[in-house]
Structure 1
Amino acid sequence: MESVAFMAFSTIEGLGIFALMMTIFKINPLHYIWQALFVVLLMSLQSYLLRSELSLYYLVPITNIMLFIFLVATVVKEPLVGAAIITLIGYTAFSLLQTIIVKVVFDSIIEPQAILVYGYALQTSSAIAIGLVAWLLYRLGIGFTWSFEKVRFKREDLIVSSTIFVVLIFFTILLYRNEIWSNILFFSITLSYFLYYAVRKEKKDHDQFDG
């Protein structure tokens, strides 16, 4: 039951973070909602598995940021540098907003038995607040209109595909050494999903060039 609750609240929070990232740069998150939902679901499962292995809890924010960068680069089709900027600014804004919520709303919750309730309440309130901010940003047309095409690398699709493949190998080795077989599976599925989008985009661009 705890794992299901963690997955549900983490998914809601993850979708809120994605929406905030997109709307800060005036991108409609609804255009990519199903792809984002699939990735965030796998991300939440991976986070739960990594947190259950106390020696690997530190990998959770690193992997989440990295997966969001790949999501923006392959699905939203932003240049790799732009994807990193969008993700880091969005994640920073989320962290700031969540810190404010912790200080203002939840600072008085100190009972050990309230830790789980505290976590779920924090995730839910953060998701609601982030969703509201994202909606207001997009509704009012507030945000950055930067174009990252000037910083797109030559053969960037190949660079992205190679990076995804290298990261997959690295984490497979890391998780294999810790014998976390289930996480190897879900991490492989997630990165293969990004690899599919990266290769498909490269093929589409190549066909357009030939045409």
Structure 2
Amino acid sequence: MSLEPILFMIFSSIETFSLYFMIMCLFRFKWKKHAWQALFIILPLNLQSYLLRNDLDMGNIASLVLIIVFIIFFTSVVKMPIIISMMATILGFIIFALIQSAFMLSIFGSQSAIENSHINGYLLQLITATFNFLFFYFIYLKGKGFTFDIEKLRFKIEDIILLVLIIAFLLGISVLLYFKEIYLHILFFVPISAFLLYYSRKREHEND
């Protein structure tokens, strides 16, 4: 039995959680408060990512799905205004990519060194994650980061937009995978969407 799927899940989960941690610290939200919800989302996403990248050669789709789910997660669970959620996710991905690229070039020399070696890839993920945890926690402790008047940036129809976004996400992914004839993969997104819908409805009731 190959250890590659297990190693992929372990290092990808550490890497993705460090991205969540970085965004929460950078925008000065309490990362501990939503850590288990983040893990609930990250684990099935990374499993799906492994299947899309390795079995179906759909790595770009996996990255796009992660961005969309993060935007919905920050809006429905962390309760960021949707405009902040989009800004935080996109900016977080850009900063994360720059950090990882810097480590890749300085330590491994080129992208091909990562693509041709799973071990190098896992090391890069671990190095990037470790840096993110240490550096951005330091930034958070020092009181640095982006702060906004949250309520002024919250739209009155935001809850409706969020519900539509979640449903559109599930339908869009389902249609894509249906036409790719990989029906079983749709099941990965059902619990994620149900989880996000639950929090969006919970948030709506709290706002009533």
Fold match by TM threshold 0.5: yes
Partner of 1:8: 10
- CA apart distance, 1:56: 2.0
Output one character per residue of 1:64-83: Cα deviation in whole Å (capped at 9) or x when no partner.
11111111001100111110
Partner Cα separation in structure 1 for residue 38 and residue 113 of structure 2: 35
Cα contact 1:46–1:186 (8 A) shared by 2: yes
Partner Cα separation in structure 1 for residue 197 and residue 82 of structure 2: 14
Partner of 2:191: 189
Deviates more, 1:79-88 or 1:176-185: 176-185
Partner Cα separation in structure 2 for residue 31 and residue 5 of structure 1: 27
Partner Cα separation in structure 2 for residue 31 and residue 81 of structure 1: 21
Partner Cα separation in structure 2 for residue 55 and residue 182 of structure 1: 17
Cα contact 2:34–2:77 (8 A) shared by 1: yes
* Percent identity for Structure 1 against Structure 2: 34
Residue identity matched to 2:121? G
Partner Cα separation in structure 2 for residue 185 and residue 113 of structure 1: 29
Distance 1:113-1:71 versus aligned 2 partners, 3 A rule? closer
Alignment equivalent of 1:71, drawn from 51, 70, 73: 73
Does 2:182 align with 1:180?
A: yes
- CA apart distance, 1:149: 2.5
Normalised to the residue count of structure 1, the TM-score between the two structures is 0.91
Partner Cα separation in structure 1 for residue 54 and residue 112 of structure 2: 22
Deviates more, 1:56-65 or 1:70-79: 56-65
- CA apart distance, 1:148: 3.6
Partner Cα separation in structure 1 for residue 159 and residue 56 of structure 2: 35
Residue identity matched to 1:7? M
Partner of 1:37: 39
Partner of 1:27: 29
Cα contact 2:17–2:38 (8 A) shared by 1: yes
Residue identity matched to 1:135? Y
> Unaligned stretches of 5+ in structure 1?
207-211
Cα contact 1:7–1:41 (8 A) shared by 2: yes
Cα contact 2:163–2:200 (8 A) shared by 1: yes
Residue identity matched to 1:173? V
Residue identity matched to 1:35? Q
- CA apart distance, 1:16: 0.2
